[in-house]
């Protein structure tokens, strides 16, 4: 290849792979096999190594905290990872049952399991030690993701039981609980990152990250559902599951032994409704013949076992009318289209709005106003439009056109290269951006200002009382104006002003996060605080200096430089400094905020709605409490989230340790 051809090839690969990433992560509609994607990515990576001069900073190989497969070792599966035949109705299942009866007679049982909506994983244990974790890949070979999988708390690294086979493989599904998904996705939204469409995609993206430190921050979980060994240790699948549980594996408690197909159908019916009360997504039920001898007799087709089948639930779907499309301008200026629908009942809630993600989605659906659209709310939390019923489109219907100017301030929108969202660049005067930035600044994870909420910020802005973050710190001079506001009594004003005053004590990393610099989330703010020590160093840092800080890549560094290149931002910082906010790192960060928890011990377990485990730990420690590693009679509190391990729960109950929620903990701190 000539140099020109090399460059063209690299550019084409970057473009193609970025599009595939978008299809996969945002639309949740991949159009390419994972394996082919990985090969193309490896090809691009090799070209970049050979020709660094042509490497594009936006290359999918370079994503910071990236969701991209880069350089995992490919491992051949000892037993191929097959798929399952799918059924969608009772008749299909009865046909499956008949086929089995024909082959092995009437004497058999089924095991019914939930079909977890995640990604399958194969774990190898050698001498009771977890030695390898491999993704399904193309079924024959997959990626070695052992380091990432080792961050999952429910997967044992070392088995304690003495009756485990010397070498075995166990398979299961990696997934993310909905609560964790919502929390992390919200955090991504807050720092202007593209959001994931559903927990499955988030889990899949996480498993394939390069940095296992980053993986550890995204709580994944795993249910195990099958054992492979060279010789038979057990007679039935059910018996093997009981033993897996005993060896310390996380086996779903809802698995059930069923004597016949009618019982299976009842199980399916029960979970069709009940699935929405689980803390994780399932997309169906898996039915397996219990006896291993009978499984062997039934054998396999080329793609799947004859002794198992899945029953897939239909994602609940309804048809309704698209009344209009509105556009929300976020704090970062990203303009997100939202479908406003004629209200309709779906999966137990009234749906009035559906996400349209971005301009590409409007184009894909070829939406027209008044269209009759199919809306789905499957495992996913936010309803979305699947497609349009073209038969019902009125002649002359007006196509929905994504605006070219900001719906709030009329500034022409821009789209940065390699990104899917359009932005309003008018960050200094576009109202929702200003309000959003102030709301972000006061939020719990940033300055945590008591007595001031999102709605109040909105009102203050509309009344001309605040237009910048720094204006919060002169509000005390406007006490008379504040008193004229409805529902804003003397007491709330005093509370709010006290909250604002107290926020001056918040550490630099919180202030930095609160400024709302694109891509500077909580973790990045902490790393920058540690690396740069103070705001002046940060403002004057070069690209090289920034990227030499731990975990700061090109994209974040560029965003920081761009932020500090704006005189208005520097002016704000000067004002905030003059009001006494913290712009210097405090050495030895853990300073006690209070001694409310002194002498009290805690264990944190499970997945939480509002905070990560790390945040809860910091909260406890910075108020004098102590974190213990295990449950004992001495323990004062078990902070319990969703899907806590059953053994922990049992032990806590036995020892009479009080269980508290994250809200109870906040209450203790009040
Ligand atoms: S057993 C021969 N059990 O569904 C395949 N699979 O459609 C044996 N899955 O690749 C798989 N929950 O990723 C089995 N309880 C369960 C499952 C389950 C989810 C996934 C798995 C598999 C896919 C097949």
pLDDT for 313-351, tens place per residue? Answer: 887 789 999 999 999 999 989 999 999 999 998 876 788
Most confident of 296-310, 372-386, 640-654: 296-310
540: which DSSP letter? H
Determine the Cα–Cα distance for residues 416 and 427; give it in Å rounded to an integer.
15
Q: How far is CA 366 from the centre of its chain?
A: 29
> How much distance in Å is there from the Cα of 84 to the middle of ligand 1?
7
Q: How confident is the model at residue 233 (pLDDT cuts 50, 70, 90)?
A: very high
> How much distance in Å is there from the Cα of 18 to the middle of ligand 1?
29
pLDDT given at position 169: 97
> How much distance in Å is there from the Cα of 37 to the middle of ligand 1?
23
Q: Where is average pLDDT lowest: 21-25, 252-256, 262-266, 631-635?
A: 21-25
Residue 319 counted as an annotated binding residue: no
Burial (Cβ within 10 Å: 0-12, 13-18, ≥19) of residue 464:
exposed
> How much distance in Å is there from the Cα of 115 to the middle of ligand 1?
6
Determine the Cα–Cα distance for residues 193 and 633; give it in Å rounded to an integer.
44
Q: How many alpha carbons lie under 13 Å from residue 373 in its C-beta half-sphere? A: 32
Ligand 1 contacts CB of residue 173 (under 6 A): yes
Ligand 1 contacts CB of residue 222 (under 6 A): no
pLDDT for 155-182, tens place per residue? Answer: 999 998 889 999 999 999 999 998 899 8
CA-based torsion, 320, 324, 325, 330: positive or negative: negative
Strand partners, 341: 322
> How much distance in Å is there from the Cα of 217 to the middle of ligand 1?
26
Residue 8 counted as an annotated binding residue: no
pLDDT at 590 over 60: no
pLDDT for 359-369, tens place per residue? Answer: 888 988 999 99
Residue 406 counted as an annotated binding residue: yes
Please, are residues 557 and 547 in contact by the beta-carbon 8 Å criterion? yes
Please, are residues 219 and 258 in contact by the beta-carbon 8 Å criterion? no
DSSP per residue, 183-227:
HHHHHHHHTTPPPPSSHHHHHHHHHT-S-HHHHHTS--EEEEEEE
Ligand 1 contacts CB of residue 139 (under 6 A): no
> How much distance in Å is there from the Cα of 135 to the middle of ligand 1?
13
Residue 222 counted as an annotated binding residue: no
Q: Which of 7, 63, 115, 377 is catalytic?
A: 115
Most confident of 298-307, 320-329, 347-356, 418-427: 320-329
Q: How confident is the model at residue 26 (pLDDT cuts 50, 70, 90)?
A: low
Q: Give Cβ neighbours of residue 252 (< 8 Å, ≥ 6 apart).
A: 113, 114, 116, 223, 225
Determine the Cα–Cα distance for residues 411 and 96; give it in Å rounded to an integer.
60
Ligand 1 contacts CB of residue 83 (under 6 A): yes
> CA nearest 150: which of 53, 222, 205?
222
Q: How confident is the model at residue 95 (pLDDT cuts 50, 70, 90)?
A: very high
Determine the Cα–Cα distance for residues 256 and 269; give it in Å rounded to an integer.
14
Mean pLDDT throughout 73-98? 93
Considering the chain, what is the average pLDDT of its residues?
88
Mean pLDDT throughout 616-629? 84
Mean pLDDT throughout 568-583? 96
pLDDT at 588 over 70: no
Q: What percent of the chain has pLDDT over 70?
A: 94
Q: How confident is the model at residue 495 (pLDDT cuts 50, 70, 90)?
A: very high
Ligand 1 contacts CB of residue 200 (under 6 A): no
Please, are residues 626 and 602 in contact by the beta-carbon 8 Å criterion? yes
pLDDT given at position 29: 66
Q: Which atom of ligand 1 is nearest to the CA of 119?
A: 13
Residue 450 counted as an annotated binding residue: no
> CA nearest 147: which of 210, 68, 227?
210
Mean pLDDT throughout 556-565? 94
> CA nearest 577: which of 508, 477, 669?
508
pLDDT for 179-232, tens place per residue? Answer: 899 888 888 877 767 677 788 888 988 898 877 777 888 889 999 999 999 988
Tell me the two tokens of residue 335.
């303009």
Q: How confident is the model at residue 569 (pLDDT cuts 50, 70, 90)?
A: very high
Mutate to test the pocket of ligand 1, among 82, 84, 142 (most ligand atoms within 8 A of CB): 84
Ligand 1 contacts CB of residue 169 (under 6 A): no
Mean pLDDT throughout 142-160? 90
pLDDT given at position 592: 67
Instruction: Give, in order, the Cα–Cα distances in Å from 299 to each of 109, 229, 303, 308.
Output: 16, 16, 11, 10
Active site residue 141: no
Q: Which atom of ligand 1 is nearest to the CA of 115?
A: 12
> CA nearest 193: which of 185, 202, 201?
185
pLDDT for 391-408, tens place per residue? Answer: 999 999 999 999 999 999
Strand partners, 518: none
Tell me the two tokens of residue 552.
């700061």
Longest dimension (CA), the chain: 86
> CA nearest 315: which of 375, 360, 394?
375
> How much distance in Å is there from the Cα of 102 to the middle of ligand 1?
25
pLDDT at 143 over 60: yes
pLDDT for 504-518, tens place per residue? Answer: 999 999 999 999 998
pLDDT at 644 over 60: yes
Q: Where is average pLDDT lowest: 89-103, 287-301, 375-389?
A: 375-389
Mutate to test the pocket of ligand 1, among 113, 115, 136 (most ligand atoms within 8 A of CB): 115
What domains, with CATH codes, occur in the chain?
3-63 (1.10.287.610), 74-312 (3.30.470.30), 318-392 (2.40.50.140), 431-505 (1.10.150.20), 508-578 (1.10.150.20), 601-669 (3.40.50.10190)
pLDDT given at position 250: 95
Residue 490 counted as an annotated binding residue: no
Residue 83 counted as an annotated binding residue: yes
Q: Which atom of ligand 1 is nearest to the CA of 114?
A: 15
Tell me the two tokens of residue 43.
């090809």
Instruction: Give, in order, the Cα–Cα distances in Å from 400 to each of 175, 367, 562.
Output: 36, 6, 34
Most confident of 43-57, 129-143, 482-496: 129-143
Q: Which atom of ligand 1 is nearest to the CA of 120?
A: 13
pLDDT at 67 over 60: no
Ligand 1 contacts CB of residue 18 (under 6 A): no
Ligand 1 contacts CB of residue 10 (under 6 A): no
Mean pLDDT throughout 377-393? 81
Q: Which atom of ligand 1 is nearest to the CA of 226?
A: 1
Ligand 1 contacts CB of residue 305 (under 6 A): yes
pLDDT given at position 68: 40
Q: How confident is the model at residue 608 (pLDDT cuts 50, 70, 90)?
A: confident
Instruction: Give, in order, the Cα–Cα distances in Å from 124 to each of 146, 162, 172, 173, 430.
Output: 10, 17, 12, 14, 55
| Strand order across the 129-135 sheet | 129-135, 119-126, 167-175, 221-228
At 374, give phi and psi (nearest 5°). Answer: -95, 125
Residue 112 counted as an annotated binding residue: no
> How much distance in Å is there from the Cα of 523 to the middle of ligand 1?
35
At 209, give phi and psi (nearest 5°). Answer: -80, 150
CA-based torsion, 437, 439, 445, 447: positive or negative: positive
424: which DSSP letter? -
pLDDT given at position 276: 84
Ligand 1 contacts CB of residue 657 (under 6 A): no
Q: Nearest residue CA, atom 23 of ligand 1? A: 83
pLDDT at 252 over 50: yes
SS (H, E, C) 95-161: HHHHHHHHHHCCCCCEEEEEEECCEEEEEEEECCEEEEEEECCCCCEEEECHHHHCCCCCCCCECCC
Q: Nearest residue CA, atom 9 of ligand 1? A: 115
Most confident of 28-37, 65-74, 80-89, 110-119: 110-119
Determine the Cα–Cα distance for residues 241 and 226; give it in Å rounded to an integer.
7
| Angle at the Cα of 343 from the Cα atoms of 337 and 348, rounded to 5 degrees | 105
3-state secondary structure (DSSP) of residue 49: helix
pLDDT given at position 70: 46
Mean pLDDT throughout 637-660? 85
Residue 36 counted as an annotated binding residue: yes
Ligand 1 contacts CB of residue 120 (under 6 A): yes
At 246, give phi and psi (nearest 5°). Answer: -65, -35
pLDDT at 121 over 90: yes
Q: Nearest residue CA, atom 7 of ligand 1? A: 84
Tell me the two tokens of residue 303.
């793609």
Ligand 1 contacts CB of residue 310 (under 6 A): yes
pLDDT at 65 over 60: no
pLDDT given at position 4: 87
Q: Give Cβ neighbours of residue 418 (< 8 Å, ≥ 6 apart).
A: 14, 18, 58
DSSP per residue, 572-615:
HHHHHHHTT---BPPSS----S--TTTT-EEEEESB-SSS-HHH
Please, are residues 452 and 496 in contact by the beta-carbon 8 Å criterion? yes
pLDDT at 69 over 50: no
Q: How confident is the model at residue 27 (pLDDT cuts 50, 70, 90)?
A: low
> How much distance in Å is there from the Cα of 456 to the middle of ligand 1?
49
Mean pLDDT throughout 415-421? 75
> How much distance in Å is there from the Cα of 113 to the middle of ligand 1?
9
Mutate to test the pocket of ligand 1, among 120, 170, 227 (most ligand atoms within 8 A of CB): 120
Ligand 1 contacts CB of residue 225 (under 6 A): yes
Q: Give Cβ neighbours of residue 273 (< 8 Å, ≥ 6 apart).
A: none
pLDDT given at position 37: 80
Ligand 1 contacts CB of residue 286 (under 6 A): yes
Residue 626 counted as an annotated binding residue: no
Most confident of 34-43, 65-74, 84-93: 84-93
Ligand 1 contacts CB of residue 59 (under 6 A): no
């Amino acid at each position: 290849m000539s140099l020109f051809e090399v460059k063209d090839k690299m550019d084409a690969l970057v473009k193609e792979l970025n599009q595939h990433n978008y299809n996969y992560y945002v639309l949740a509609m991949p159009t390419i096999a994972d394996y082919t994607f990985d090969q193309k990515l490896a090809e691009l990576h090799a070209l970049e190594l050979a020709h660094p001069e042509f490497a594009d900073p936006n290359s999918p190989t370079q994503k910071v905290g990236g969701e991209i497969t880069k350089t995992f070792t490919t491992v051949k599966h000892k037993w191929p990872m097959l798929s399952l035949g799918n059924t969608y109705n009772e008749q299909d299942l009865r046909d499956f049952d008949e086929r089995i009866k024909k082959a092995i007679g009437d004497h058999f049982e089924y095991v019914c399991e939930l079909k977890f909506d995640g990604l399958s994983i194969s774990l190898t244990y050698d001498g009771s030690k977890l030695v390898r974790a491999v993704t399904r890949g193309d079924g024959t070979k997959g990626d070695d993701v052992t380091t990432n999988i080792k961050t999952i708390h429910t997967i044992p690294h070392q088995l304690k039981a003495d009756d485990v086979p010397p070498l075995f493989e166990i398979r299961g599904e990696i997934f993310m609980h909905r609560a964790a998904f919502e929390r992390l996705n919200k955090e991504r939204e807050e720092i202007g990152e593209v959001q994931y469409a559903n927990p499955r995609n988030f889990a899949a993206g996480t498993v394939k990250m390069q940095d296992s430190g980053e993986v550890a921050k995204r709580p994944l979980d795993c249910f195990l559902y099958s054992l492979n060994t060279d010789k038979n240790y057990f007679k039935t699948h059910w018996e093997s599951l009981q033993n897996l549980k005993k060896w310390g594996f996380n086996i779903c408690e809802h698995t059930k032994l069923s004597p016949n197909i009618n019982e299976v159908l009842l199980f399916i019916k029960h979970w069709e409704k009940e699935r929405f009360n689980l803390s994780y997504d399932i997309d169906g039920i898996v039915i397996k013949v219990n006896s291993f001898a009978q499984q062997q007799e039934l054998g396999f087709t080329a793609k799947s076992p004859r002794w198992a089948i899945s029953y897939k639930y239909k994602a609940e779907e309804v048809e309704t009318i698209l009344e209009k499309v509105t556009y929300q301008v976020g704090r970062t200026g990203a303009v997100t289209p939202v479908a406003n629908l004629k209200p309709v009942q779906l999966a137990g809630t009234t749906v009035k709005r559906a996400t349209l993600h971005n301009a590409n989605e409007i184009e894909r659906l070829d939406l027209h106003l008044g269209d009759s659209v199919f809306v789905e709310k499957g495992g996913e939390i936010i309803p979305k439009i699947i497609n349009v019923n073209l038969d019902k489109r009125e002649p002359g219907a007006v196509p929905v056109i994504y605006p070219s100017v900001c719906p709030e301030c009329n500034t022409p929108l821009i789209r940065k290269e390699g990104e899917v969202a359009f932005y309003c660049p008018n960050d200094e005067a576009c109202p929702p951006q200003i309000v959003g930035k102030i709301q972000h600044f006061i939020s719990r994870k940033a300055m945590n200002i008591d007595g001031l909420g999102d709605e109040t910020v909105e009102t203050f802005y509309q009344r001309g009382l605040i237009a910048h973050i720094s204006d919060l710190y002169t509000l005390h001079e406007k006490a008379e104006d504040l008193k004229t506001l409805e529902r804003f009594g003397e007491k709330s004003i005093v509370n709010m002003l006290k909250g604002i005053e107290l926020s001056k004590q918040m550490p630099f990393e919180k202030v930095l996060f609160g400024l709302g610099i694109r891509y500077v989330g909580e973790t990045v703010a902490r790393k920058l605080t540690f690396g740069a020590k103070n705001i002046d160093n940060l403002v004057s840092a070069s690209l090289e200096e920034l990227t030499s800080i731990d975990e700061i890549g090109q994209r974040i560094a560029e965003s920081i430089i761009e932020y500090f290149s704006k005189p208005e931002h520097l002016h704000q910082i000067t004002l905030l400094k003059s009001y006494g906010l913290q712009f210097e790192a405090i050495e030895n960060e853990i300073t006690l905020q209070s001694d409310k928890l002194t002498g009290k011990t805690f264990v944190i377990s499970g997945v939480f709605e509002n905070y990560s485990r790390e945040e809860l730990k910091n909260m406890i420690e910075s108020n004098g409490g102590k974190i213990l590693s295990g449950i004992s009679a001495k323990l004062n509190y078990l902070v319990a989230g969703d899907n806590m391990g059953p053994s922990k729960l049992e032990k806590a109950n036995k020892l009479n340790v009080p269980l508290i929620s994250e809200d109870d903990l906040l209450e203790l701190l009040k």
